[in-house]
Amino acid sequence: MINTETLLLQPHNGVLHITLNRPQSRNAMSLQMVNELRAVLADVACDDQVRALVLSGAGGHFSAGGDVKDMSSAGSLEALRDLNRIFGTLLQEVEALPQVVIVVLQGAVLGGGFGLACVSDIALADHQAQFGLPETGLGLLPAQIAPFVVKRIGLTQARRLALTAARFDGIEAQRLGLVHFVEHDAQGLAERLDEVLGQVLRCAPGANARTKALLLGSVGQPLGPVLDQAAQWFAEAVAGEEGIEGTQAFVQKRKPRWAG
On whether residue 160 sits in a domain, the answer given is yes
| 169 and 223 inside one domain | no
- For residue 225, the model assigns a pLDDT of 92
**In 3-state terms, what secondary structure has residue 20?**
strand
**How many Å from the N-terminal Cα to the C-terminal Cα in the chain?**
24
Low-confidence ranges of the chain (pLDDT < 70): none
- For residue 74, the model assigns a pLDDT of 77
On whether residue 217 sits in a domain, the answer given is yes
| 46 and 140 inside one domain | yes
Among 79, 135, 126, 74, CA closest to 105: 126
| 132 and 21 inside one domain | yes
The CATH number of the domain holding residue 225 is 1.10.12.10
| 51 and 104 inside one domain | yes
- For residue 145, the model assigns a pLDDT of 96
The CATH number of the domain holding residue 162 is 3.90.226.10
On whether residue 1 sits in a domain, the answer given is no
The range of the structural domain enclosing residue 211 comes to 205-259
- For residue 68, the model assigns a pLDDT of 81
- For residue 38, the model assigns a pLDDT of 97
The pTM score is 0.95
- For residue 16, the model assigns a pLDDT of 98
Instruction: Give the span between the Cα atoms of 41 and 179, in whole angstroms.
Output: 22
Query: Which letter does DSSP use for residue 99 in this model?
Result: S
- For residue 70, the model assigns a pLDDT of 81
- For residue 30, the model assigns a pLDDT of 95
* pLDDT tens digits, one per residue of 177-232: 999 999 999 999 999 999 999 999 999 999 999 999 999 999 888 999 999 999 99
- For residue 62, the model assigns a pLDDT of 98
| 66 and 140 inside one domain | yes
Instruction: Answer with the one of 201, 227, 246 that is the final residue of a domain.
Output: 201
